[in-house]
Amino acid sequence: MVHSLINRFKQFLRPIRQTFLSLLYQGNKRYCPICEKTSRKFLPFGNPIRSDARCIHCNSLERHRLIWIFFRSQTNLFNGLQKEMLHVAPEPIFQRLLAKHFSKGYLTADLYNPEAMVKMDITNIQYPDNTFDVIYCSHVLEHVTDDRKAMKEFYRVLKAGGWAILLVPILDGPTHEDLSITDPEERLKLYGQEDHVRKYGTDEVYLDRLKEAGFKVQIIEPSEFLDSEEIIRMGITKAAQNIYYCTK
């Protein structure tokens, strides 16, 4: 009963908060390509806090805006042809748009989220070889103990000629992994989050593992398809990181 009342109160406050933020951040120096709205700047977000990070209208972050632009301008995702797409740990902001665009063939999957279409352990995907044209999985593999097995499973279920975008946070320094560490506080200290099982670093361990799984990998920087003005206006800061575009 109390939980229900709290949720109702939050729902009541949401439009009031949104109106307040829209007035406070009114302007056009920032543009979100996902909701296609402008603001004076983006909201701060993260731990540690990043300034100018989250869209005030749709809550997109730097990496979301970058990926959406990449989807639209650099891939065949929206070329009108039927595709089978696997979206792992679906971000609500993308899920709504993609489900609306694809009348069929769009599948969301998660091990724990009951709102996903199917429950899926990505180290043991319950679909045949060569099932999907597109796979999108962002910021999941750093939570998975056997990331190599998950990568091999993604490769297995991807069709020949298909593509996958597999993103993880890449942090400064070497990759660090010790699966014997299970204490949340120790993981937070070493990996940046309590439920991460490793820290992927700048030493190309992540790239090497993707290649070991069979993928051909192209690392794409934002500046390869966005000019400096677009990068600034859409808030594509260093936090967005590069895109790992994987093909079979």
Residue 204, domain extent: 61-247
B/e letters for 9-47, b = 16+ CB within 10 Å, e = fewer, are eeeeeeeeeeeeeeeebeeeebbbbbbeebbeebbebee
Examine the domain organization and report whether 136 and 35 are in the same domain: no
Give the number of other Cβ atoms within 10 Å of residue 102's Cβ.
18
Examine the domain organization and report whether 44 and 110 are in the same domain: no
CA distances in angstroms from 53 to 48, 89, 237, 240, listed in the order given: 12, 21, 8, 10
Examine the domain organization and report whether 49 and 79 are in the same domain: no
Q: Which of 20, 40, 60 is where one domain is finished?
A: 60
The burial class, CB within 10 Å (0-12 / 13-18 / 19+), for 95 is middle
Which is nearest to 155 in space by CA: 219, 106, 216, 208? 216
Examine the domain organization and report whether 15 and 138 are in the same domain: no
CATH classification at residue 89: 3.40.50.150
Q: Which of 22, 39, 60 is where one domain is finished?
A: 60
Examine the domain organization and report whether 139 and 200 are in the same domain: yes
Q: Which of 39, 60, 81 is where one domain is finished?
A: 60
Examine the domain organization and report whether 79 and 182 are in the same domain: yes
Query: What's the rounded Cα separation, in Å, for the pair 100 and 104?
Result: 10
**Full-prediction pTM beyond 0.85?**
yes
The burial class, CB within 10 Å (0-12 / 13-18 / 19+), for 239 is middle
Examine the domain organization and report whether 71 and 128 are in the same domain: yes
Size of the chain, expressed as the number of residues it contains: 248
Examine the domain organization and report whether 73 and 24 are in the same domain: no
Examine the domain organization and report whether 81 and 195 are in the same domain: yes
Examine the domain organization and report whether 126 and 38 are in the same domain: no
Q: Which ranges in 25-135 belong to alpha helices (H)?
A: 62-74, 92-101
Q: pLDDT 10s digit of each residue in the chain, 248 long?
A: 544 545 564 565 556 566 666 666 678 999 999 999 999 999 999 888 999 999 999 999 999 999 999 999 999 999 999 999 999 999 999 999 999 898 799 999 999 999 999 999 999 999 999 999 999 999 999 999 999 999 999 999 999 999 999 999 999 999 999 999 999 999 989 998 999 999 999 999 999 999 999 999 999 999 999 999 999 999 998 888 999 999 99
Kindly give, in sequence order, each residue whose CB lies less than 8 Å from that of residue 101, ignoring residues fewer than 6 positions away: 78
Examine the domain organization and report whether 106 and 31 are in the same domain: no
Examine the domain organization and report whether 92 and 18 are in the same domain: no
Give the count of domains, the chain: 2
